[in-house]
Amino acid sequence: MQMSNRISGFQCSPIRRLVPYSRDAVEKGIHVVHLNIGQPDIKTPKEALEAIHSYDKDIIEYGISEGEVSLRRGLVRYYAKYGIKVSQDDIMITTGGSEAIQFVFMTLCDPFDEFIIPEPYYTNVATFANIAMVTLRPVTSSSDDNFALPSIQEFEKRINKKTMGIMLCSPNNPTGHVYTQEELRGLLELCRKYDIFLVVDEVYREFCYDGKSFTSILSFPEYQDRVICIDSFSKRFSMCGARVGAIVTHNRDVLESALKLAQARLCPPAVEQVAAAAALNAPDEYVEDVREEYEHRRNVMISRMQRIPGVRCSLPKGAFYFVVDLPVDDAEKFAIFMLRDFSYEGCTTMIAPAEGFYVTPGLGKQQARIAYVLNEKELLMGAECLERGLKVYRREVMGIRD
């Protein structure tokens, strides 16, 4: 029995190939420090957990396809804190940010239409584009200038009749770059010129560091018809498993069309929408404390990583990832080596090889994404293993005498 040709072409999660090695390491009694995933160890707000504990319905009924009104109203107030004016009718709740991206592709694009995206990028977008048969046209950002936005000309060069929009993630997963107001305005002007959409995934909105403020794509009223914001509760409130996200746009045609998809899948998860609505009532200090904690972890991790010979990384401005250049021939081979052949004081480190974060074949082969969502002690142990593992790998596998 044959599977479809298309599913064969879909990528496996770039981390997935490593999972058996990680499992084997754990079975050997090795503690694996997971620098490969963005699963924070920070507690979900107690408001959200309490809302779950006091869930008062006796039937978990179908909800509204576009999401519970109380949750959408809560988001209206949440955005207002950022000076962003939206109404509940500008918001559709989705089953995670993942579903939001899928709805956007399906709503804006016909098969073989194109979206321009800076790479490295959030790799699951590739699968969502594949499902919708949308071609991703990459614009490569470089570690040489800390993954800043490539020039507007680079974007413009890639626009053709099939281009329906540009997709960003800001603060960026995996690079940590935060797009400036000027960068966004430049892209918006370009989008206006060619009458295309700008879609921005802002799920890390709160996690901007060094006292810098964040510019939301929703804060440009003069372009609001061509702006779509992807949002999610996962990272902000450390509730990744709750699968509650949103599409936010002033363009009612987009939401009207996406509603057809939303209705077919009936509704987002009911209990977790209650938890999400309650999370919005967490005091501002919750997110502020989390932000401070991540900023601290970033500082600790970057300065430690920069002390590893041959490793190159610079200070990310937001989110909780960065992309690091490693002095290896192949980051995936090295990642497997770390899990299969290396340990230090009973520990090793799992990293995410960056190749899967690029559309362009061959790029990212010597890079990895590092997530700094664990506590300081774990991070430092992870880095220590990396440093020692690199030394052994370069000597024994690559045959280099440093």
CB of 203 to a second copy, least distance (A): 12
Cβ-based nearer residue to a second copy, 46 or 307 = 46
Q: 10 Å Cβ neighbour count for 153?
A: 9
Angle at CA of residue 217, ends 214 and 220, nearest 5°: 105
Q: Are 11 and 326 in contact (CB under 8 A)?
A: no
Cβ-based nearer residue to a second copy, 6 or 307 = 6
Cβ-based nearer residue to a second copy, 27 or 62 = 62
CB of 36 to a second copy, least distance (A): 12
- 322 backbone φψ class: left, alpha, beta (φ>0; ψ -120 to 50): beta
* Separation CA 117–CA 165 (nearest Å): 9
Cβ-based nearer residue to a second copy, 302 or 350 = 350
DSSP 218-256: GG-GGGGGGEEEEEESTTTTT-GGG--EEEE-S-HHHHH
Cβ-based nearer residue to a second copy, 48 or 339 = 48
CB of 331 to a second copy, least distance (A): 20
Q: What is the largest CA-CA distance in the chain?
A: 68
CB of 16 to a second copy, least distance (A): 6
Cβ-based nearer residue to a second copy, 80 or 266 = 266
* Separation CA 145–CA 149 (nearest Å): 9
CB of 254 to a second copy, least distance (A): 7
CB of 15 to a second copy, least distance (A): 9
DSSP code for 4:
P
